[in-house]
Amino acid sequence: MKLIDRYVYAVTDRLPVEIREDVNKELHANIEDMLPENAAEDDVKKVLEKLGDPIKLANEYNPTKKYLIGPDIYDTYISVLKLVTSIVTIVLVFVTLIEEAVNPSANEELIKMSIEVFTNLISTAIQGAVQGFLWVTLVFVILERTGVNQGKIPFIKKKWSIDDLPEVPVTNKRKISRVETAFSMFFSMLFLIIIYYQPQLIGIYEKNGNGITLSAPLFIVERLQSYIFIIIIIAFLGFGIQIWKFIAMKWSVPLAIANTIYNLALCILVLLMISDGSLLNQSAISSLANLTEILPSQLTNAWQWCIRVSIAVLILVTLGDSINGFVKCKRIK
Amino acid sequence: MDSMEELISSLIVELRRGTLVLSVLSQLHTPEYGYSLVQKLEEKNSPIEAGTLYPLLRRLEKQQLLTSEWDTTESRPRKFYVLSEVGKEVYNRLKSEWESLSNQLNKLLKEGENNEID
């Protein structure tokens, strides 16, 4: 019976390998039981039509999740999606604008130039939106497939409890402002994108007849490339924590711990980069010396001081931020 | 009027869906294979679509309410399902739940009838 074979195959082909053989045998037997003695092809057709669409039947045998992101995390997904896509898009547009301002297109005609800038902006914005959408969706699909139903993810609990109720008063000491989080996401994303795509934009700028122009990049770009991987990892750790803050809107011990780890990693990275002598572009220092009319030797001295002070500030700020997280999560109720 | 008929039939399907497992379990104190169970339920005026029943039997087996065995003595090998010990207990609990549920519902429906008359 070729029709039966084809039908059974259409069902079992959609099933996991472990049960395929057994369902195959059972379904065959059941179908043959349903047929009268010496069945003609019409009888077979009738029985198969009664069993219905093989895709539906296969799904009855093996019910699987028929969605990428389920109702439990859908709301969170949408709010994070809006946040991330808009920030990425704004940052990319921002960077493109800076880029155009610093290195204007060679085109002489104003109209042609503005069209060029405009199309550039539009395509960057679309690119940013698509990238943001892709990554946020990917992360949430992974969350959906791995931990949601077990309640493993810190900010999306399956089982609701009274503690999850948000506090009504605005002056809540534990609260993390969403605006603040969105701002810090904006700036860290801006920084990452500049470092990644346009590191030469960070540098000493000069004002002359043509407006403001770049006189020397601050970093040796090739040397900076060797840090890029670790910078990206730390930046993504940071984004993760910011998104966590954005969703949770209040401090908790795991969040404070993650925040401390992130601050520590950031400090170590910055210290490493500062102590790397070959990262700094010497011509940036001489051009700064030109600009400020200070002797290079004096400038180097001042530079050293500058670095020491910024290291101290960095350590103090990150230390304060880490402690702040723990202090605020103590203030429960 | 068509849409009302559609609504009613979809509500009936939903209403019956909840009783499906109970009616299948009730017939499995003795071993049955897929098609024999379809026939048995049909004879007793509680027909279930074959395409619904066959996968349901497998799911109940996976939930350890049924045990199964291939019978290869006949000309055609058949898979027989029967209630397991767990299945018997689950069946009894579901049965008493159903009885109290239908009692309560009957009361509610009776009340409704009286109100209509008023």
Subunit contact B51:A25, Cβ cutoff 8 A: no
Alpha-carbon distance B112 to A295, whole Å?
Answer: 99
The predicted model gives A22-33 an average pLDDT of 88
Answer yes or no: is pLDDT of B1 > 70.
no
Residue of A nearest to B70 (CA): A26
Question: Residue A167's pLDDT is what?
Answer: 59
Q: Rounded to whole angstroms, how far apart are CA atoms A89 and A129?
A: 6
Range name among A7-16, A248-257, A262-271 with the lowest pLDDT average: A248-257
* pLDDT surpassing 90 at residue A251: no
Tell me the two tokens of residue A92: 């990319």
Q: What's residue A164's pLDDT?
A: 61
Please answer yes or no on whether B76 and A27 come within 8 Å at the CB atom: no
- Residue A223's pLDDT is 83
Residue A2: the pLDDT is: 83
Phi, psi of A103 (to 5 degrees): -115, 80
Higher pLDDT, A164 or A273: A273
Q: Under an 8 A CB cutoff, do A23 and B79 touch? A: no
Check whether A312 has a pLDDT greater than 60. Answer: yes
Contact A30 B33 (CB under 8 A): yes
pTM above 0.95, yes or no: no
Asked whether the beta carbons of residue B49 and residue A52 sit closer than 8 angstroms, the reply is yes
* B residues 86-115 lying closer than 8 A (beta carbon) to A: none
pLDDT at A134: 92
B47 and chain A in contact, CB less than 8 A: no
Question: Which DSSP category does A138 fall into?
Answer: H
State the Cα–Cα distance between residues A294 and A301, nearest whole angstrom: 11
Give yes or no for residue A56 having a pLDDT over 70. yes
Task: Over range A97-103, report the average pLDDT.
Answer: 74
pLDDT tens, residue by residue, B17-61 = 888 999 999 999 999 988 899 999 999 988 888 888 999 999 899
Structure letter (DSSP) for residue A155: T
pLDDT tier at A333, thresholds 50, 70, 90: very low
Contacts of B81 in chain A (CB under 8 A): none
CA-to-CA distance for A117 and B83, rounded, in angstroms? 74
**Residue B11, CB half-sphere, CA atoms under 13 Å: how many?**
6
Q: Which amino acid is at A291?
A: L
A29/B55 CB distance under 8 A: no
pLDDT, mean of residues B86-93: 93
pLDDT attached to residue A171 = 55
At A13, give phi and psi (nearest 5°).
Answer: -60, -25
Chain A hits for B77, Cβ within 8 Å: 25, 29
pLDDT of residue B97: 94
For residue B73, name the pLDDT band (cuts at 50, 70, 90): confident
Of A36 and B8, the structure prediction assigns the larger pLDDT to B8
pLDDT at A159 over 80: no
Q: Which of B34, B36, B55 sits opposite A57 (nearest CB)?
A: B55
Amino acid in the structure at residue A21: E
pLDDT over 90, % of chain A: 4
User: What is the per-residue pLDDT for A253?
Assistant: 83
For A25, the closest of B50, B55, B77 (CB atoms) is B77
> Residue B57's pLDDT is what?
92
In this predicted structure, the answer to whether residue B117 has a pLDDT above a threshold of 90 is no
pLDDT computed for residue B27 by the predictor = 92
Nearest CA-CA partner of A81 in A154, A135, A123: A135
Chain A hits for B24, CB-CB cut-off 8 Å, are none
The reply to whether residue B56 touches residue A19, judged by beta carbons under 8 angstroms, is: no
What is the model's pLDDT at position A326?
Answer: 86
Contact call for A33 and B76, based on CB within 8 A: yes
Apex A273 CA angle, A269 and A274, nearest 5: 115
In this structure, the strands spanning B66-71 and B78-83 are antiparallel
Cα-based angle B97, B101, B107 (whole degrees, multiple of 5): 150
* ipTM reported for the complex surpasses 0.90: no
**For residue A101, how many other CB atoms are within 10 A of its CB?**
11
Per-residue pLDDT at A153? 52
Instruction: Inform me whether the C-beta atom of residue B53 falls under 8 Å from chain A C-beta atoms.
Output: no
Give A152 to chain B, closest Cα distance, Å.
25
A310-314: average pLDDT: 88
Residue A169 has pLDDT above 70, yes or no: no
Nearest to B26 by CA among B14, B12, B40: B40
B27 in reach of chain A (CB within 8 A) = no
Q: What percent of chain B has pLDDT over 90?
A: 47
Q: Which position has the token pair 């920084």?
A: A191
Q: In what order do the strands lie in the sheet with B66-71?
A: B32-33, B78-83, B66-71
Rounded Cα distance, A257 and A318, in Å: 13
Least confident piece of the model among A160-169, A217-226, A227-236: A160-169
Average pLDDT over residues A55-63: 84
> Residue A59 above 70 pLDDT?
yes
